[in-house]
Amino acid sequence: MHSLTDLAPTQPYRPPAVVPPDGTLYLQALQALRNGEAEEAISLMTRALRWQPTHQGMRRNLVRALLLAERFEQVMLQANAALKATPDDAELHFARGTALNALGQSSLACAAFARALSLRPNHAASWLNMGNASADLGDLASAEKLYRTAIDLDAALPEAQASLGYLLTVQGRLKEAIAACEAAIRLRPDFAQAHWNLAIAALLGGDLHLGFTEYEWRKRHARFGADFANLPGPIWDGTALNGQTILIRAEQGFGDAIQFARYLPLIRARGGNPVLVCAPSLVPLFQSFQAVSSTDKLPAYDAWIDQISLPRVFNTTLDSIPAAHGYLGADPDRVETWRRRLPDGPKVGLAWAGNPKHSGDQRRSIPGDAVRLLTDKQNVRFINLQFGAAARGLGLPDLTEWMTDYAETAALIETLDLIVTVDTSVAHLAGAMGKPVWIMLPHAPDWRWLLNRTDSPWYRSARLFRQPTAGDWTSVLAEVAGALSQRV
């Protein structure tokens, strides 16, 4: 057995001499940054800075690499550190603004961009990103001016045209929006964001052919692309089926899966065997189709397709939307169970909030206090269709414990006389069942509800109530209340 003293070196330890690099590391980092290899550039730049921590060019380029990698909190740390030495560096203020807006601090982002522009007034990217921050704050008028300034300064900036296209779409200025998106695509034909914005503008305007063609770009969009990994086997393109099994991959939200389930019978009518892969809570709802859980092993199939590619394959127009009268039913035994639970007499189902994780939920959901303007004034028995924590918001009985899947929700809806809801899966479920449904929409609605109409070509049983101006739920609720009084 050895003691510690036995293992001690006879001479004091001296670390080997290390010669700092000659700049090769930094040059490699710059090359990686030019190639768009953000993570490699970050690694190399960080190592180079250990030898020359006061080198401002290295730190600025590290900020650029972090911005490219969307590591926004680190952008803030490095930009703030660099600004201590060079407080009048416009690019660093621009980087701070971009990071702040990405972190949800849009007001501070605008201040950072203003500082950048005071130092470099002709920096088109600062005008563009300040427009993005203003749009996030709801200041659409300022955002439009900022986007147009960016375009005037740099007509070859496709991001500015694409952002302007989105902003004009939100305002319902669809002809201008489409022109802006097409301008962006001319500048960069493979710009997925511009194609996506064009798709939304076209769909909102009712041009389903152009809209669903451009909608295919969702699969290359940075925000959605990870959800569209190719499956083994060929993609079905609408050709004759001759008994083949077609796997349909549900995508996006529950409402989307419900809305586009209407296409499954069309595949069967062409001689195919459609199998829908969807969330487990939807499988019991689609009892009239063949559906399997996305958590299970995929069944055998001959070809596959993503669900919202089906309207394009079937050349859908506003006049040829299939099964707009309804295509889903409820299980009779479940319906009878719900009838025994609920009181007799006329009943109105109510849903006032969507999934809070949805990117547009703040715009489409109604605060509980506002909904009381409707529920407190009506001589109507309201039935709570909310699920989870939101179900306790109005003091209506919480039915969550019985709403175990969408088949249960469908059975509950079947027992009701009318559904009043915001734009959430409840709206799609009621419409797909052909039940009378009143849908309360924000001023800038989702594309499927189109513009300036009170009906929906997707659901003939739907009636639409729209905000006259952004955020004005009071007018919507007053209109619904008046319509309810007449109906009662």
- Could you tell me the CATH number of the domain that includes residue 272? 3.40.50
Contact 394, 372 (CB under 8 A): yes
pLDDT digits (tens, 9 = 90+) for 222-281: 878 788 989 999 999 999 888 999 999 999 999 999 999 999 999 999 999 999 999 999
Question: What DSSP letter does each residue of 134-197 carry, written as one string?
Answer: HHHTT-HHHHHHHHHHHHHH-TT-HHHHHHHHHHHHHTT-HHHHHHHHHHHHHH-TT-HHHHHH
pLDDT over threshold 70, residue 9: no
Q: What does the alpha-carbon distance between residue 386 and residue 362 come to, in Å, rounded to a whole number?
A: 16
Q: What phi and psi, each to the nearest 5 degrees, are found at residue 47? A: -65, -40
Residue 355 has pLDDT above 80, yes or no: no
Residue 241 in any domain: the answer is: yes
Taking only the tens place, the pLDDT of each residue in 383-422 is: 999 988 888 878 899 999 999 999 999 999 999 999 999 9
Q: How confident is the model at residue 7 (pLDDT cuts 50, 70, 90)?
A: very low
Domain shared by 111 and 153, yes or no: yes
Residue 297 pLDDT > 60, yes or no? yes
Residue 180's pLDDT is: 98
Give phi and psi for 52, each to the nearest 5.
Answer: -135, 70
Cα–Cα distance, 172 to 181 (Å, whole number): 14
Q: Is residue 17 part of a domain?
A: no
Report in angstroms the alpha-carbon separations of 251 from 219, 226, 259, 278, 303: 11, 12, 11, 8, 17
Same domain, 32 and 109: yes
Q: CA-CA distance, 381 to 178, in Å (whole number)?
A: 45
- Cβ–Cβ < 8 Å for 422, 465: no
Residue 433 in any domain: the answer is yes
Burial of 200 (C-beta count, 10 Å sphere; 0-12/13-18/19+):
buried
- pLDDT at residue 21, as a whole number: 55
125, 188: one domain:
yes
Q: What is the CATH number of the domain that holds 63?
A: 1.25.40.10
* pLDDT-derived band at 12, boundaries 50, 70, 90: very low
What stretch of H or E contains 353? none
Question: Does residue 8 fall inside a structural domain?
Answer: no
Number of domains in the chain: 3
| Predicted pLDDT of residue 23 | 65
Q: Is the pTM of this model over 0.85?
A: yes
**What percent of the chain clears pLDDT 70, i.e. is strictly above it?**
94
Domain boundary among 225, 248, 268: 225
Assess if residue 325 is contained within a domain: no
Domain of 433, in residue numbers: 332-487
Which of 203, 225, 247 terminates a domain? The answer is 225
Q: What is the pLDDT of residue 1?
A: 31
Looking at the fold, whether 256 and 390 belong to one and the same domain comes out as no
In a domain, 4, yes or no: no
- The tens digit of pLDDT for each residue in 98-157 reads 999 999 999 999 999 999 999 999 999 999 999 999 999 999 999 999 999 999 999 999
Q: Give the pLDDT of residue 201.
A: 98
Residue 471 sits in a domain whose CATH number is 3.40.50.2000
The answer to whether position 19 is within a domain reads no
| 11 pLDDT tier (thresholds 50, 70, 90) | very low
How confident is the prediction for the chain on average, in pLDDT?
90
Mark whether 356 and 274 lie in a shared domain: no
pLDDT for the residue 349: 96
Among 225, 243, 268, which residue terminates a domain? 225
Residue 47 and residue 29: Cα distance in Å, rounded? Answer: 10
Taking only the tens place, the pLDDT of each residue in 20-61 is: 555 687 788 788 788 888 788 888 888 877 777 777 778 888
Phi, then psi, of 435 in degrees rounded to 5: -80, 145
Same domain, 407 and 450: yes
What's the pLDDT at 41?
82
- State the pLDDT at residue 15: 46
> Is residue 104 domain-resident?
yes
